[in-house]
Structure 1
């Protein structure tokens, strides 16, 4: 069944009847706008808009609870499908691309009783740890169930780090979806927005020592770049972001999400209903952000903070320039390693960085960074342009790998090389359109990475932002679909 049919289509007839007398003669522009809106939320503020590409956008505005309710009510099937045990388990299985016996070995190490007591015993009680600890007779499905329970516990504790307004919004999502006929709990939506940090902070310290021998995270990864100045055709700041994640369910539920909150900045996100946090977004101040996985041992699953999705969301809503975004991320509690790609196109700090973070360390790799000649054991940066920065899933700033105990897998190094070399080939020609081609560098059949089938789903979205003009292009769904265009 197609997304259009599955989406809850509830045009508010009473709202339209009341509205028409106040309109009088409707001009053509207004008529076109009205005809593109296919569903309203009960309060008349939120709506789903049909875009020219055939894709859709959810518009939300108002208080945190109102925006959450609008999101959940307008696209409840997406919320129900993603805020579920089924989706969570499939993320884990896709996260670690390996044979079942390897997965079983790793899961038992992750859920080892003594390890759990040491790592999370300060925030999870001993009876719960005993219940979720791996037993010799556990199969993979049983271990996934235990991991799911433990992540729920860690997310519930770490919600103390989340601003109340985001928790209110999460409650709104759950209530909206439930009222639309697809019951979802607050706890399930909370896990969707914070669970990845709990999961990765638990798994990274176990998995990372094996990455020298096997690329366990090959197919769940991300890529990005920021370009400005001479790298572009008109001096604009262009940012690309490929959210490389599991296509399971998400390729069917991807949508543009437009936020107009009562306080803070407006912003646009490429995401799915259910996510209050963001993975790829641009705000009306010209800031863009994305978050890339980077396996490291320097993690703290007991206190991982609000998690990367809600951290990026806060940056979009409440920071206005590059330095503010960096300061917020680096001064708040972090318990999982991430690389944040951040671009700024407007407020006097134009440019971009790859902000490399772990629990106890961070480094800001800006456009001027080059590896010191003496740091021969650090990974090399090959862009070497003062108005370009590229990043995938390994630390490049010298010593960051040593400090955070991180290994660069071959897959990440390969993608960094391909992306950067293409960016250098396209140097001086980048704008919104050509920048979209650049960030879609893995488009089939390029490099043989995804094969040659253009009918396969995109996992999960490819987005390009012009952070100066506040324009966006995104590709999601399937590789042979049309790109979506939107501006703020």
Structure 2
């Protein structure tokens, strides 16, 4: 009798195991990253290249005296991506190599790395449908210049698409351990010339090598507004930027729940805002219609509106925070009525340094009013604590 029970138990467990493995394999094998199917001819230009300058058609990349790379691209989505890839092929390789090496340093086990790769592929299986086609085509254009050295992870296009979600997934799983951004804005009587002034620290660290080749990107897209952003090779999303209408975006992580499925990466949302919004209302409407991976505060400055506000976005909700006066501060917690009683936000304020940095910024801004570009930079560089 006992043998029969053990036999049937074994068969049941084995059947469940086979079903689970089969289900996982089915999901992995049916992942559709919606790789663009091109119908237009691929542009062919002569690449002009020196140590600090490259040109491909009307697009160029050069290294300025500041040490930053400056990139200018124009045209359709695919044309922009193709140009970025042609101009920055060595930077793309360097950036990916540094990123993969950092992952290997954190996770030295090849077996676990392989498992993590399958998990990421499985988790992000619906990522492509949350990235607008325009940006998928741009990413695809870039991917044509990516190395095949890392094809054991995924195809160049799949890797580049997934890298845009890496910030969000890492933010959620590590509870923004690597991120502690601070930003602020002043206008009216609190700015030296009454103009809108924005300052931000992007305290996201993945090693010195990863931050070595920053690129200031100047986009002239065939739809939407021209804009500039600060980024690195391969990153088409926006972390900090300004468009020709005087609209600015910067992002600050907030405490987030672990996502259960892929949604729009936050940097892709802010890219869409920067490219297609000219004022606060338009920016808010774009954010309202999109569902994102994780929780973020998006500081929006608007020359048209003459002020700055904060769009507070979570996977399931959205809030808008407006300051009473002529300044606004953003760290890593929410301030709007929408999230005032949110348990996760309350815990974040109590257990993180976000409120402390907010208070310190408030002190520094009061000392420097009216603020100009130099005093704003001094505030951002100040390393002293409260009362210091």
Aligned match of 2:301: 343
1:340-368 alpha-carbon deviations (Å, 9 max, x no partner): 111112x2x12111222212222211122
Give the TM-score taking structure 1 as reference length.
0.62
Cα drift, residue 83 of structure 1 = 3.8
Higher Cα radius of gyration: 2
**1:412 is the counterpart of 2:339:** no
Cα drift, residue 195 of structure 1 = 2.5
**1:319 is the counterpart of 2:277:** yes
Partners of 1:415 and 1:260 in 2: CA distance = 36
1:194 to 156, 161, 165: 165
Counterparts of residues 72-471 of structure 1 (less than 5 Å): 72-83=85-96, 87=99, 90=102, 142-143=111-112, 145-178=114-147, 185-201=156-172, 203=173, 217-248=176-207, 249-297=209-257, 300-304=259-263, 306-345=264-303, 347=304, 349-368=305-324, 386-398=325-337, 400=339, 402-403=341-342, 405-406=344-345, 407-408=348-349, 409-428=351-370, 430-442=371-383, 446-447=384-385
Contact map agreement 1:69 1:177 (CA 8 A) in 2: no
1:244-286 alpha-carbon deviations (Å, 9 max, x no partner): 1114232212121111111111111111011010101000010
Contact map agreement 1:83 1:191 (CA 8 A) in 2: no
Cα drift, residue 62 of structure 1 = 0.9
Aligned match of 1:479: none
Partner of 1:250, secondary structure, is coil
List 4+ stretches of structure 1 deviating above 4 A: 91-94, 139-145, 181-184
When the two chains are superposed, the root-mean-square deviation of aligned CA atoms in Å is 3.1
Contact map agreement 2:124 2:261 (CA 8 A) in 1: no
**1:66 is the counterpart of 2:79:** yes
Partners of 2:115 and 2:360 in 1: CA distance = 39
Cα drift, residue 432 of structure 1 = 2.7
Partners of 1:332 and 1:323 in 2: CA distance = 15
Listed as ranges, the gaps of 5+ residues in structure 1 are 1-9, 14-34, 95-103, 105-138, 208-216, 369-385, 449-488
Partners of 2:357 and 2:377 in 1: CA distance = 16
Contact map agreement 2:69 2:213 (CA 8 A) in 1: no
For these two proteins, the number of residue pairs brought into alignment is: 334
Partners of 1:153 and 1:218 in 2: CA distance = 24
Partner of 2:309, secondary structure, is strand
Partners of 1:199 and 1:149 in 2: CA distance = 16
Q: 1:200 to 1:52 in 2, by over 3 A?
A: closer
Listed as ranges, the gaps of 5+ residues in structure 2 are 1-45
Cα drift, residue 169 of structure 1 = 0.3
1:76-134 alpha-carbon deviations (Å, 9 max, x no partner): 233224346x626747988xxxxxxxxx9xxxxxxxxxxxxxxxxxxxxxxxxxxxxxx
Contact map agreement 1:80 1:182 (CA 8 A) in 2: no
Contact map agreement 1:82 1:192 (CA 8 A) in 2: no
Partners of 1:154 and 1:404 in 2: CA distance = 26
1:199-234 alpha-carbon deviations (Å, 9 max, x no partner): 444x26xx6xxxxxxxxx454221111211111011
Q: 1:427 to 1:192 in 2, by over 3 A?
A: same
Q: 1:441 to 1:324 in 2, by over 3 A?
A: farther
Cα drift, residue 60 of structure 1 = 0.9
Contact map agreement 2:214 2:232 (CA 8 A) in 1: yes
Partner of 2:159, secondary structure, is helix
